[in-house]
Structure 1
Amino acid sequence: MAVVLAAPAVLAHADESHYEVFYTPPDPLPAGEPGDVIRTEPSRLVLEPSGQLGSFVGTGTRIMYRSTDAQGNPVAVTGTYIEPDNPWPGKGPRPLLAYATAPYGMGEQCAPSRLFNQGIHASLDTGFDVMFNLEEGFVATLLARGFAIVVTDGVGLGVHGPMSPQFLNRVAGGTALLDAARAAMRLPGTSLDPDGPVAFWGWLAGGQAALAAAELASTYAPELNVVGTYANAAPTDLAATMPSIDGNFLAGALGWVLRGIQSAYPALEQPIWDSLTPRGVEMLANTGRQCMLQTGIDYMFRHLQPWFKDDLNQMVQADPFKGILAAQRIGNVKPTGPVYFSHNRWDPFGPYAAVVQTATDWCAMGADVTLWTNEAPPFLNKLDVNALLPPFIDAERSIAWITDRFNGAPTAPNCAELSS
């Protein structure tokens, strides 16, 4: 009788250990100001792991720079600066886009600056731990058109250590993006003019960060020459977003929100753990180390209440959570420069009505606001199709708007339509 010996299965793992030296912040941080560069190194830029199927027409530099967190404490933030190969064909000096991505997950392996090196991250460390660089097409297109780009990982993401990302925190999101722009301007050997124009770009949580940067610019980074802000599918009112998460493909994003609150408001870390059922504890622990696809697969279409001991609706309508969620709202401070919103009317994650209210409030302050409504009808909305697909449909329109801002073209705000 023949015996067949099967070879043991070989598990694929993406080795992240080589990132640890760069991504571990110095302790203590060196003296300096927000936006000062702490360290840099060359960064491989690929569209997919082999690096052979297409390329970015530019040179990547990984950066670590000083910023401030939600409490105003100095913190190290990582990101990527990309210097274009192509000249800027427009007016004036080369423009800088300060770019905040969609949420790629809470695990440090999910940081955008790491995904630029891989195109596709894949390992089995947290289950089906696969993540794509969802916005590489946007970045590659903008780069080819002569824009310099700096992409922030945001406060707490990517850095090696115990800190969690301060997810959807208005202050931390805005300061990380503003300081990324400052860091790019201070890098040696770039084609940027230190006083040149800057615009903010963001999608989903990155859109909230871009809008927050526009609100904070006048007081936090008044020296920046901000010419515009673009945000697509941005959740402008976190309290209004909470019901949308229930039963959603990204129901596990509630874990990201809770992690963000714990990191930004340390006094609430233990009370949040204490508020959870055993199932909730498992969810919060897992989502804190996963990328987006794994979080979606593990917790898709779940209802939120079974994760909590007490009534969730009552919890978010009472302090401290009521006040914390309200503090993340966009629309209470006049932004610097013109703002362009692109949002689907049936967005399943960031309610359209909340974006209209933010735009209306800004218009009342005299801001230059344009809201483009994507009218793609609702389709498989619990899968977030109407949040994930419209940015690609509207990409050329969005790029044209941001290009016009750098070329000094007049805007066409539609505040009158919003108030009618």
Structure 2
Amino acid sequence: MNRKSTRSRSTLPSPARTTGRSDKTGRRLLAGVVAAGTVCTGLSTVPASAAAPTPIVSRGVTIPAFYTPPTELPSANGTLVRTETLPLGLSIPGLDGRPMPGAATRMMYKSTDSAGRPVAVTGAYIEPSAAWKGTGPRPLVAVASGTMGQGDQCAPSFALQHPLTLNGDTVSVGYEALAIYRLLSTGAAVVVTDYVGLGATDRLHTYVNRLDQAHALLDAARAAHAVPGASITTASRTGLYGYSQGGGASAAAAEIQPAYAPDVPLAGTYAGAPPADLTSVIKGIDGSALAGALAWSISGFAQADPDLRAVVDANVSATGRAALADASTMCVGDALFGYGFTKSSKWTTSGKSIGDIIAAAPRAKAALDKQRIGRLKPNSPVRLATGVQDDIVPHSQARQLALDWCNKGADVTYDAIVLPNLGDKILTNHLVPLITDQGDAVSWLTDRLTGKAATSNCWSMPIQL
């Protein structure tokens, strides 16, 4: 596969690189540019009619100029910056002339990253064709997508328009459409976040960064109310939905919502296979079919955290740097073919794994530990489901998250999905529960959106394997 991209990035930032320009485009900021001046705080939104820069190209895919953030952002989190119509790649005309499953709007909104800096985030809002038959006004579900990749062409909102991209350089599949469309069929409106740096072209996607993801998801829920044509109201119940990376995002959002977004009327959260303890997850993905995701997390954290960046700079070899730069423009399909079953020891100067190197560096270990989910109490019901055979995002750490929340008095419904071992490290043990649990997940969340009380099973937790 040709891994060369016209979007050149450095995933290992250094002071000399923070103001560099791409040799290919002459317009792209190199990856890792996250200084406070990169995205400045503004006092007002940039109107949708403002002139946008020329689109860039990432691995053969043109990224619309819409995704390039303005130089100034509004001050309030969740404020819309711009919107435009988003053609859904999977849509059919309804009998009443309206498209099914709904009408979509691409959006950009303001959020705050884990360092407290303003950041532009993109996403999509979908107004459903189906009527809401539950109590109260039409509810809203904020969807956090599972792992899509780190290239801007992998953005979930882009995948809604282009469900399958196969161009010789990019392999991207919009697999979250199934869950999104099932949620829309209930009559709930859906908003999808692209996360920090995925889609929006000013920085690298900060893969599995706890606060970046949580902020982006909650601010998407806020921004949805201002989308032209949205039928949701301030009284609309809100649900959070996510699996895998998305499960971590929805879990983190649920526990910070009382402090960060008390204005979001959160009725319930589905967190499937959440990567709550990254120390454990790194061991799970290293050498697996999804080893490319380890490259994304290394690059994202090196960009965002100086302690982890110092460890990466000191220990990653030239071969590793090339791999991280290459992977930073990939989607999941590319990474499976390009870096499947790669061990991180091949990327280091010592031959030790990235996990072992971080474990031996106290400041880096502490920085990664700050990403741990489960130290705060969600104030609304949460359903946490995990496959007992999951060896990519290990079952044991996800179950521990449920226990941590239960011990804090949270309302937790824990479901252990019992399946046979479907193959070590080949991703099946992680992916199959995504499908087999989806109906129950949508049903549980729909009940919360209709106002039905949840039944916690904290004190009769299912099996531990």
Q: TM-score, normalised by structure 2?
A: 0.82
Size of the alignment, in residue pairs?
399
Partner residue of 1:209 out of 249, 266, 277: 249
Matched, 1:154 2:198: no
Secondary structure of 1:383's counterpart equals coil
CA drift at 1:359 = 0.8
Secondary structure of 2:72's counterpart equals coil
Matched, 1:228 2:272: no
Write the distance in 1 (CA, Å) between the matches of 2:59 and 2:370.
Answer: 38
Partner of 1:315: 357
Write the distance in 2 (CA, Å) between the matches of 1:257 and 1:53.
Answer: 40
Partner residue of 1:171 out of 208, 211, 220: 211
Partner residue of 1:240 out of 243, 255, 280: 280
The one-letter amino acid of 1:167's match is Y
CA drift at 1:213 = 0.5
Partner of 1:3: none
Partner of 2:123: 79
After superposition, the C-alpha distances for 1:255-313 in whole angstroms (9 at most, x for unaligned) are 01112202322565465244212321121011100111111111111222121123334
Partner of 1:113: 157
Partner residue of 1:91 out of 116, 124, 135: 135
Kindly indicate whether the alpha-carbon contact (under 8 Å) linking 1:123 and 1:130 is maintained by their aligned counterparts in 2: yes
CA drift at 1:227 = 0.5
The one-letter amino acid of 1:335's match is P
Percent sequence identity is 38
Matched, 1:184 2:192: no
Partner of 1:418: 461
1:28-67, aligned counterparts within 5 Å? 28-29=72-73, 31-47=74-90, 56-67=100-111
Secondary structure of 1:227's counterpart equals strand
The one-letter amino acid of 1:174's match is A
The one-letter amino acid of 1:75's match is V
Partner residue of 1:337 out of 380, 393, 407: 380
CA drift at 1:56 = 4.0
Q: TM-score, normalised by structure 1?
A: 0.91
1:365-384, aligned counterparts within 5 Å? 365-384=408-427
Write the distance in 2 (CA, Å) between the matches of 1:218 and 1:53.
Answer: 40
Secondary structure of 1:389's counterpart equals helix
Write the distance in 2 (CA, Å) between the matches of 1:392 and 1:253.
Answer: 21
Secondary structure of 1:200's counterpart equals strand
The one-letter amino acid of 1:85's match is S
Kindly indicate whether the alpha-carbon contact (under 8 Å) linking 2:209 and 2:371 is maintained by their aligned counterparts in 1: yes
Write the distance in 2 (CA, Å) between the matches of 1:242 and 1:253.
Answer: 9
The one-letter amino acid of 2:164's match is I
Partner of 1:134: 175
Kindly indicate whether the alpha-carbon contact (under 8 Å) linking 1:360 and 1:419 is maintained by their aligned counterparts in 2: no
Matched, 1:286 2:326: yes
Secondary structure of 1:157's counterpart equals coil
Secondary structure of 1:99's counterpart equals strand
Between 66-75 and 380-389, report the one with greater CA deviation: 380-389
Write the distance in 1 (CA, Å) between the matches of 2:167 and 2:396.
Answer: 39
The one-letter amino acid of 1:351's match is P
CA drift at 1:52 = 6.9
After superposition, the C-alpha distances for 1:350-397 in whole angstroms (9 at most, x for unaligned) are 111111211111111110001111101111231110111112111111
Kindly indicate whether the alpha-carbon contact (under 8 Å) linking 1:356 and 1:418 is maintained by their aligned counterparts in 2: no
Write the distance in 2 (CA, Å) between the matches of 1:329 and 1:392.
Answer: 26
Distance 1:39 1:342, change over 3 A: same
Write the distance in 2 (CA, Å) between the matches of 1:415 and 1:364.
Answer: 8
Q: Structure 1: 5+ residue runs without aligned partners?
A: 1-12
Secondary structure of 1:381's counterpart equals coil
Higher percent of residues as helix: 1
Secondary structure of 2:410's counterpart equals coil
The one-letter amino acid of 1:113's match is S
Secondary structure of 1:224's counterpart equals coil
CA drift at 1:194 = 1.8
The one-letter amino acid of 1:104's match is M
Secondary structure of 2:448's counterpart equals helix
The one-letter amino acid of 1:131's match is S
CA RMSD of aligned residues (A): 2.0
Partner of 2:14: none
Kindly indicate whether the alpha-carbon contact (under 8 Å) linking 1:106 and 1:256 is maintained by their aligned counterparts in 2: yes
